[in-house]
A and B are shown apart, each in its own frame.
Chain A
Amino acid sequence: EVQLVESGGGLVQPGGSLRLSCAASGFTFSSYSMNWVRQAPGKGLEWVSYISSSSSTIYYADSVKGRFTISRDNAKNSLYLQMNSLRDEDTAVYYCARDKVVRGVIFAFDIWGQGTMVTVSS
């Protein structure tokens, strides 16, 4: 079964750090580019970051640039999000999501994890 499972969420104080993980199974992880998407309580979806299959290309949303770092370990079938200098507005469910690529073009996010909750509060 194709699956993504996030972990690492929790309660952290403003200014603190947290590292999220996403474990992939059921597909060749090293062949796919990946993303992190978040959803604040009662709000819509916000794309956070992208990493290519080889880690050669990385993008961030302006809201997290300079504070968050995406990475991956293809040998461990894992995706990561290092979150530093956390703010109240970073409180959200964080999802990892796989790119749907057709003939080399990204058309959607086709596989999503169940999400992990990050709460930033004093």
Chain B
Amino acid sequence: IQLTQSPSSLSASVGDRVTITCRASQGISSYLAWYQQKPGKAPKLLIYAASTLQSGVPSRFSGSGSGTDFTLTISSLQPEDFATYYCQQLNSYTFGPGTKVDIK
């Protein structure tokens, strides 16, 4: 199962609403997770089961979708949110190529 993400990168300002899309090559029900990774750091789990917020993750992060199309939304971008975001499907564990969010 292959995952694609769009866009591959985006520039945004603090306070912006940001949406990242992940598409699976075949249906994966809700077996999708989202991670945030900052340079030189390990990935951090944000969302699992497509829409469940991991404990301790701010509520400005949300996920939606099922089957083949999924989205990660940051409702109001904060300075600490500038990072690369990856989706992962849990049928065969593959990751998407990532979306880099940087400062406009």
Binding site for B on A (CB under 8 A): 35, 37, 44-47, 50, 59, 95, 100, 102, 106-110, 112-115
Alpha-carbon separation in the docked complex, A108 to B45 (Å): 8
Alpha-carbon separation in the docked complex, A35 to B42 (Å): 14
Query: What total of chain B residues lie within 8 Å of the partner, measured CB to CB?
Result: 22
CB within 8 A of A108: which of B33, B37, B41, B42?
B33
**CB contact under 8 A between A45 and B49, given known A50-B93, A112-B43:** no
Residues on A with beta carbons closer than 8 Å to the beta carbon of B33: 107-109
In the A-B complex, the 8 residue pairs with the smallest Cβ-Cβ separation, listed nearest first, are A108-B33, A108-B48, A112-B42, A47-B93, A107-B48, A45-B95, A44-B98, A110-B45
**CB contact under 8 A between A35 and B93, given known A100-B48, A109-B45, A110-B54:** yes
In the bound complex, do residue B86 and residue A45 qualify as a contact, i.e. CB atoms below 8 Å apart? yes
Q: Is B31 an interface residue (CB 8 A)?
A: yes
Alpha-carbon separation in the docked complex, A44 to B85 (Å): 10
CB within 8 A of A95: which of B42, B49, B94?
B42
What string of 1s and 0s marks CB contacts (under 8 Å) between B17-42 and chain A?
A: 00000000000000101010100011
What string of 1s and 0s marks CB contacts (under 8 Å) between B34-63 and chain A?
A: 010100011111001100101000000000
**CB contact under 8 A between A114 and B98, given known A44-B86, A47-B93:** no
CB within 8 A of B42: which of A44, A50, A100, A115?
A115
